[in-house]
Amino acid sequence: MMEDLQPGQKLARGVSRYLRSLGYAPLEEFVPARGLRVDVMALGPKGELWVIECKSSRADFQSDSKWEGYLEWCDRYFWAVDMDFPAELLPDGTGLIIADSYDAEIIRMAPEDKLAPARRKKLVQKFAMDAARRLQRLRDPRPGKDGQLLGGAAEEQSDW
């Protein structure tokens, strides 16, 4: 299974393992709003929401033009990169996680910018619905009328 993962997905796996050890519930490839897809969204034990973007190379980072749009969807924003990534490229005022396929560690804590209560409520509800749908698809991946498996990423998008 690891052979099938792209470099950024391997980072997301290590980050997710680490976040679980901290008591967070990570959800990979989360869509907080139409047109946005974060690599990892994590729901913390006190209801905090973190976004973690995984960058596997300089080119991957430099081609990312949407990251600033993610800031309004989380309490803390982090980059996750491997040990060889040139961390000096990453913007100040964001968190830094060093990761590999198996684990991770926070190197620089992201500053906190709390979400508005109404946005937090909607995001936590969407997070729960998406996670529940994914779990159900694992248990019952029955095909739909067109032969496609039910519940693709489009099902997880919502109108904000």
- pLDDT number for residue 5: 85
Q: Contact at 8 Å (CB) between 73 and 36?
A: yes
Dist. CA 56–CA 5, nearest whole Å: 12
| Calpha distance 65→102 (Å, rounded) | 28
For residue 40, give Cα distances in angstroms to 10, 36, 52, 144, 148: 12, 12, 5, 28, 25
Task: Round to whole Å and give the CA distance between 132 and 142.
Answer: 16
Q: What is the pLDDT of residues 95-106, one digit of tens each?
A: 999 999 999 999
Q: What are the domain boundaries of the chain?
A: 2-115
List Cβ neighbours of 41 (8 Å cut-off, separation of 6 or more). 26, 27, 30, 32, 49, 50, 51, 52, 74, 127
* Residue 33 burial (CB count, 10 A): 17
pTM of the complete model: 0.85
Give me the CATH topology for the region 2-115: Trna Endonuclease; Chain: A, domain 1 (3.40.1350)
List pLDDT tens digits, range 7-65.
889 999 999 999 999 999 999 999 999 999 999 999 999 999 999 999 999 999 999 88
